[in-house]
Chain A
Amino acid sequence: MKSRRKTVFVLVLLVGILFGAMLLSTAIGAVHVSPLSILKMGLNKLHIAHFDPSWREADEAIIFQLRLPCVVGAALVGAALAVAGSLFQGLLRNPLADPYLIGTSSGALFGVTIAMIFLPATLSFSGFGIASIVAFLGALGAVFLVYTLARIGGRTHVVTLILAGVAVNFLLTAISWFLLDVVGELHQKASAVYGFLWGQIMGIDWNQIVVLAPIIFLGLILARLFASHLNAFSLGEEGAAYVGVNVERDKMLILALGAFLTACAVCIAGLIGFVGLIIPHALRLIFGPDNRLLLSASALAGASFLVLAHLVARTILAPEMLRLGILTALIGGPVFLYLLIRYRREYAF
């Protein structure tokens, strides 16, 4: 089967790109270690081979304790956001849908604001700061609110869902900034919230990865299982029902899955725009809209994209770090425009 060969080829290629991106990003920084040495370190650690160290012991600590967790974190965030974007675009039949459309961003912002103002900053659970945890809960809570608001008589209409999402986003954003405005210590707290708004991946350690990696992987696999039904949703909800999709149940599960993946990403990195919008969008233009390929490809390409973006963000102004969300928007915007012009015909539906 031609399509199956294409799928395998594309996925192997993307796995290669991701591996290369992660290796490169781990190698480059204030301390440069050659990618070959990193490979040797890795093989030694895994007891697959034993190479004589040609590197300093301190380098190994920098690579494995500081840099690699951040690189893995960036990959997880990129994969989660891109897959969430694919899910929402497919379900809502809208190539402009992004993971934050139905409330996650403002819910997380609201959560962070509440945490900054009312909770002690030193609180943490299994490596996660209180702000991250409340952001996670806020993102999920906002989506639940939007979904409940849009539900009429056992059905949730897509247009109502999007409108409720927009309204809740505005409302929670306004409340968050209002709270930051009226509560004292404005400068200090607003700037912390500002940091969260533009996303950052730093200070991640293995404790956090160990918790989030399995959860995100599970989410990615579950998302892939919905590929066929997500394809059916392109016929519209009634058309999907005609080919055997339990529309309301699947819609709820897909939204919950997308919201969950987004909340995981927010928990690690704050709000990073454009990845969830542009990665699925670009891949759909290049490889076609079949979600069986698109969801897997989104995970891999989203991960690679964010790993490389993270590399640029922390090296381009070194020792200063550019906010990751600013960088993704700076790269994403022009790429998006390029695609728009290059594939103008595809948009004429």
Chain B
Amino acid sequence: MSNLLMKDVSFSYSDGFALHHINLEVGAAEMVALLGPNGSGKTTLLKLAAGVLTPRWGEMLLGGISLRELSRKEIAQRIAVVPQYFNIPFAFSVEEVVVLGRTPFIRTLSGETERDYLVAKLALELTGMESFKARPFNELSGGERQKVILAMALAQEPRLLLLDEPTAHLDINHQVEILGLVKALNRQNKVTVIGATHDLNLAALYFDRIVLLKEGQIFADGTPSQVITSDIIQQVFSASVEVSQHPSAAVPQIVVLPEERRNYES
């Protein structure tokens, strides 16, 4: 059964940037990477999927239900988003931030229940942040913050997890740790994942499917081996790369060829 279905979706901002005729079907428990140059529409596509932008044309279905028919609260009970970073202006504790993930489930009059705290606690354990729960969120390092935000997203018990370059500002060990966590969730809890990223090698290594965007359209869609070829990368990124096999996993990895060598060869 498909989890997210985008049928001929188009969208445009007032400044002219647009997404055109996006047809995308993401099945339950799939793990899909969104790749593409800056400004190719990755974030816009994620915001459409998250329901914070509404398509001008086309239809979006979430588990068979039109996204338009769901309230903001109902969407948040199904979809969680991890952005590049959150700036939280007050000294909320890590636990308080994770409990914010329960917001769509909290009834106005009764407040948080035992179950809300239990789910938040499990999310903290899952991300290995339990020992940080009393610490102020805005005193943590970038990598720790992203793990807390991931825990907050997990506290929403989402069926669909959207990641907007969640590791963009992190060093390599945190990138690997977060992607590893996401993959474990995808495999064990059957959470569908759609993640935008700039790192082609990590995308090939951690995601099962890659959707490549160029100028607001889907340029290629398939397994890492199908999408990451030197030909396609050249056409989308205008960069010369050499594609080789990962030494231990059966996925492609790229090596960038420097400008000089390119000129020399051509």
Contact = CB atoms under 8 A, between A and B. Distances in A.
A289 B103 contact: no
Interface residues on B, range: 20 to 34
B58 interface: no
Contacts of B80: 242
Interface stretch (B89-97, B205-213, B235-243): B89-97
A349 B106 CA distance: 29
Interface in B70-99: 71-77, 80-81, 83, 86-93, 96
Nearest to A290: B96
B89 A231 contact: no
Contact of A225 (B75, B86, B109, B152): B109
B188 interface: no
A93 interface: yes
A239 B111 CA distance: 20
B103 A245 contact: yes
B175 interface: no
A284 B136 CA distance: 13
Contacts, number: 85
A243 B92 contact: no
Contacts of B104: 243-244
Contacts of B263: none
B109 A93 contact: no
A246 B80 CA distance: 15
A261 B89 CA distance: 25
Interface residues of A, number: 28
Contacts of A290: 92, 96
B103 A238 contact: no
Interface in B48-69: 50, 52
B266 interface: no
Contact of A288 (B88, B89, B92, B103): B92
A290 B103 CA distance: 13
Contacts of B106: 228
B103 A229 contact: yes
A349 B88 CA distance: 8
A241 B72 contact: yes
A46 interface: no
B103 A232 contact: yes
B73 A93 contact: no
B117 interface: yes
Nearest to A292: B111
B141 interface: no
A234 interface: yes
Given A234-B89, A238-B83, A242-B52, A1 B117 contact: yes
B92 A289 contact: yes
A246 B71 contact: yes
A53 interface: no
A341 to B, nearest CB: 17
B108 interface: yes
B100 A289 contact: no
Give the residue among A95, A232, A244 with the most B Cβ atoms within 10 A: A244
Smallest CB-CB A-B distances: 10 pairs:
A244-B76, A244-B104, A289-B90, A244-B73, A243-B103, A242-B81, A93-B89, A246-B72, A232-B103, A349-B138
Interface of A: 1, 93-95, 225, 228-229, 231-232, 234-236, 238-239, 241-247, 284, 288-290, 292, 346, 349
9 contacts: A228-B103, A228-B112, A229-B103, A232-B103, A235-B86, A239-B83, A242-B81, A289-B91, A349-B87
